[in-house]
Amino acid sequence: MFCFFFFFSFLLLLPLPSPPLASHPNKQDADHIGGHIKSSRHVPSESLDYAAAELARQLKGAEKVVFHCALSQQRGPSAALKYLRERERLGDQHEEGKVKKQEVLVLEGGFVAWQAKYGNDERLTENYNKELWEAGY
């Protein structure tokens, strides 16, 4: 299964062996400090207006694309909506001319919730810095 995570500041997750996620835009690059979802891609939210078309092309074969920001309350959902609109604008077509189904999701609770549950799991989270999160978000 292909799943991508986007972190916004924006992260995009690349295929993982198990169910993956995507991340979203940035609360400045500071959101990426302290850890990130393994195989994700960081895409700054301020770049999404011009990066959305390329992301839609790169991810057209993904079954799931997951967006997030720190809390997934504003930047993550906004990025997911921009991405969906770009897919629609590009026609969202598969090679055979059929519409390729893709599930676009927003990570509930954002990275704050993710790190609380999976921060110490090196299979899922990279560069995790527990001390930074202990002080609270």
Q: Write out pLDDT tens, residues 62-80.
A: 899 999 999 999 999 999 9
For 131, the domain range is 31-135
Q: How far is CA 87 from CA 10, 12, 79, 82, 103, in A?
A: 17, 16, 12, 9, 12
What pLDDT is attached to residue 117?
Answer: 95
Q: What are the tokens at 12? A: 């995009």
- Catalytic position from the list 11, 43, 69, 79: 69
The total number of structural domains that make up the chain: 1
pLDDT > 80? residue 3: no
* Residue-wise pLDDT tens digits, 49-66: 889 999 999 998 889 999
Residue 82 sits in a domain whose CATH number is 3.40.250.10
In a domain, 1, yes or no: no
In the residue annotation, 3 being an active-site residue is answered as no
